Amino acid sequence: MWPANVSSSHIVTFIIVALLMSLGVAALVNRNPSLIGMSGIVYVIPTVVAIALNILHHKAVSNVYQPVFSGTTKQSILFAILYPAAFVIVIAAIALASGKAAFASGNLPSMLEMLAALVFTILLMVMAFGEEYGWRGFLLPALAARYGQLRATIIVGLIWAMYHLPADILVNKGSANPWLACLVQVASVFIMAFPLSYCYFQTKGSIAGVILFRAIWDIAHILVLGSENSEARTVLAGNYTLFNIIPLDLALGVIAAIAFACILARNDVAAKEKA
């Protein structure tokens, strides 16, 4: 079944084309900043490449939509909703307990803003689809069939981080410490691969859960903690770093990534014993 039985040449093609296109877009925008609007194309490149490979593999378009909803499970949907919410709540609790943040009662979202957040969640799911059909809908299961869940997750996480690195460099080149900012962002992308993999492997080949996961993750962060470099209204106002350098997101994410890595490793052992 595609993509587990896809050829190695297709996997290599996907990785090379995605990375080169990401680098090319960043280089083009760096040379001509007026083209910054086209940088959003990086959020659709993985899906476009994966769909093209799907069509080449099947010599038809009939299976293009299969990875989206086919095989969705209640477990994956519940995880996609509860994990991002719990993650943000833990960060908020740590920030409050440490005195780094304070509850901003005047910033509680109104009913209209909550409805807007629901609409925005749908838009974020559309954006996430632009990446996830490629990363978790194609590359992860293709590699997992060869190397197991844990190693596949590590490889996808590294490639995903490399894919976003050119854009990170471009965005942070004017900051006080651009390389530190890039390192934090690359590390954050890499560790995010672990809960997303867990969510995907709770399904029977569907990316609906991971798309919802990413949308809920963004909405929860924006509503409670605020979006990076913005003046968005937030429930908590304050500082969310350790030693004023390490984001709480990253520190907690590393702990979570280790836990999910252990689960994925156990799944690999169980799969070998079954075989």
Residue scoring higher pLDDT (218 or 156) = 156
**Which residues, listed in sequence order, are joined to residue 246 by a DSSP beta bridge?**
242
Ramachandran angles phi, psi of 38, nearest 5°:
-80, -5
Q: Above 50 in pLDDT, residue 229?
A: no
**CA–CA separation, 155 vs 144, rounded Å?**
10
| pLDDT the model gives residue 40 | 78
Omega prior to 84 cis, within 30 of 0: no
Nearest residue to 53 via CA among 142, 126, 129: 142
Percent of residues, the chain, with pLDDT higher than 90? 44
**Environment class of 131 (CB within 10 Å of its CB; exposed 0-12, middle 13-18, buried 19+):** buried
- Residue written as tokens 């894919």? 163
| pLDDT the model gives residue 231 | 44
Query: Are the beta carbons of 106 and 239 closer than 8 angstroms?
Result: no
Residue ranges of domains in the chain: 8-274
Residue scoring higher pLDDT (96 or 14) = 14
Q: Above 80 in pLDDT, residue 54?
A: yes
| pLDDT the model gives residue 154 | 98
Residue scoring higher pLDDT (246 or 49) = 49
Ramachandran angles phi, psi of 237, nearest 5°:
-110, 130
**CA–CA separation, 98 vs 45, rounded Å?**
41
